[in-house]
Amino acid sequence: MRRCLILLCLLGPLAAADVIVGAGRGFLRIEDGLKALKEGDTLLIHPRADGEPYVVGNLRIDLPGITLRGGQAGANELVRIRGDPTRPGSLITFGPEAHGGTVESLHLSGARAPDNAETSAAAVEILGADRCTITACVLTDNDCGVRTSGDAAQMRNFLIQDCHLHHNGMNADLGGYEARLLGCRSEDSLLGANIRSRNHRLLVEACVIQRGADYELDLLDAAGVTDRDGGYAFILGSVLAKATDTPAARGVMRVGADKKSKRQTPTWLLQCTLVHGAVSPLIDLGAPASRVSLVNCLIVDPSGGGSGRQLVARHGRGPQGPDFVGGCWLPFGYSAPAGARAVTVGGFGELPPVREVRSDWRLRDDAPAPFRDGGLEWTAIPMPIAVLRADHPLRQRPAHIFEPKLTGGHRERPTHGPMDIGAFEWTPQP
């Protein structure tokens, strides 16, 4: 017995295992597979033999290091999981101790809250666990796609990568210390903003966020989280686009304080494309201490512009306008803010030379300056990149960011000399 104990100590903890769900492969029900998991295990979910979705209710995970991964379901298809209407609630919930949890390659839909519930149900809900990841998933037809909650000591290193969130009540409702969205498409939220954040630190990189029922990106407050020093919101290489077929009462982004606490984190938009064709302000600063800067951004008005356009509107105390604007192109009707650097305002009816002003914002082959090579050098911008993690691409030498793939996902943005403005670096049209 003593020799066995010594051997176990030398070997360390048991290796993580795969628990299989699927007809003829293992467990038939996801719920039964979950009960067999141990810390660090993976639940590998294969498609059902009949091709129908797994119908589940309230899958709860409280162990650390658990992965839920979809198996191969066919070309361009994901294993589907749908909420059971007789068991309303969130589909997958990671509890506060479920650190390092992962959801990968699943199609999640049908999360509905019980009648008279105070909060909506989410396809994936994370209750304060650190280092959680959602990657290569589709989340649609839910009360909420992703919801996270926690205080300033919870929800560290949360990542949503290469996911498609669409036609949820709200696509993402994010709280806690930090969140990073990379290479995601968030589209057609039905009841609120596409993405709402109450995080201390937020990174949105190489994403396409469009056609929301409210703001595309809504940065709001949370006591003890957004009012702390050292926070930020960086929107990098992304597209924020309003629907272009109806007038928009909202702009593309708000930095506000609906809970009456402070939001004092600075917001930076770098190499973004913002699409808005109405007189409502492009960016709404609703918190008294809110601040925003735009660098190398392309503003697209599919109508060709008009009188009374406003880049930034402030509703509350504090100085007017953005902190810094440089290297941007604005449609007719906008004015370059005081102190702006290298800002061009287009003529009446002028459209930027993009391939399609409503859906494909990459520069055409005939795009001239300042669209090509018209961006400011990043080293000349007073941007506080030192607050980012040391391994972030903006802190590398040479620094770089990512750009969206219009078919989904992201890629490293090619850079050869001066930067083009907007979310995409020019490449020859195929």
pLDDT cut 90: percent of the chain above it: 70
Task: Give the DSSP H or E segment for 292.
Answer: strand 291-295
106-109 sheet: strands from edge to edge: 54-56, 79-83, 106-109, 138-140, 164-166, 185-187, 208-210, 239-241, 273-275, 298-300, 329-330, 344-345
Please count the other Cβ atoms lying within 10 Å of the Cβ belonging to residue 150. 25
- Cβ density class 340-350: b for 16+ within 10 Å, e for less: bebbebbeeee
Mean pLDDT over residues 379-389, rounded? 88
Q: pLDDT value at position 343?
A: 95
Question: Per-residue pLDDT tens for 32-59?
Answer: 999 999 999 999 999 998 889 999 999 9
Residue type, 269: L
Mean pLDDT over residues 293-310, rounded? 93
* C-alpha pair distances (Å), 283 with each of 135, 172, 298, 423: 29, 19, 14, 17
Question: Per-residue pLDDT tens for 342-358?
Answer: 999 999 999 999 999 99
Please count the other Cβ atoms lying within 10 Å of the Cβ belonging to residue 175. 23
Cβ atoms of 58 and 64 within 8 Å: the answer is: no
Give the residue from 355, 353, 356, 357 showing the smallest Cα distance to 368.
Answer: 353
Contacts of 76-80 spanning 24+ positions with Cβ under 8 A: 77/47, 77/107, 78/105, 78/106, 78/107, 78/136, 78/137, 78/138, 79/45, 79/46, 79/47, 79/54, 79/105, 79/106, 79/107, 80/47, 80/52, 80/53, 80/54, 80/106, 80/107, 80/109
Residue 262 has pLDDT above 50, yes or no: yes
Residues in Cβ contact with 15 at an 8 Å cutoff, skipping those fewer than 6 apart? none
Question: Per-residue pLDDT tens for 128-167?
Answer: 999 999 999 999 999 999 999 999 999 999 999 999 999 9
Residue type, 250: R
Q: State the Cα–Cα distance between residues 126 and 59, nearest whole angstrom.
A: 12
| Chain mean pLDDT for the chain | 90
Q: Residues for the chain: how many in total?
A: 430
The confidence band for 117, taking pLDDT boundaries of 50, 70 and 90, is confident
Q: pLDDT value at position 416?
A: 67
Q: Which of 203-207, 248-252, 376-380 has the lowest mean pLDDT?
A: 248-252
Question: Per-residue pLDDT tens for 162-181?
Answer: 999 999 999 999 999 999 99
Q: pLDDT value at position 321?
A: 76
Burial environment of residue 28 by CB neighbours within 10 A (0 to 12, 13 to 18, 19 or more): middle
Structure tokens at 216: 């595309």
Structure tokens at 427: 């490449």
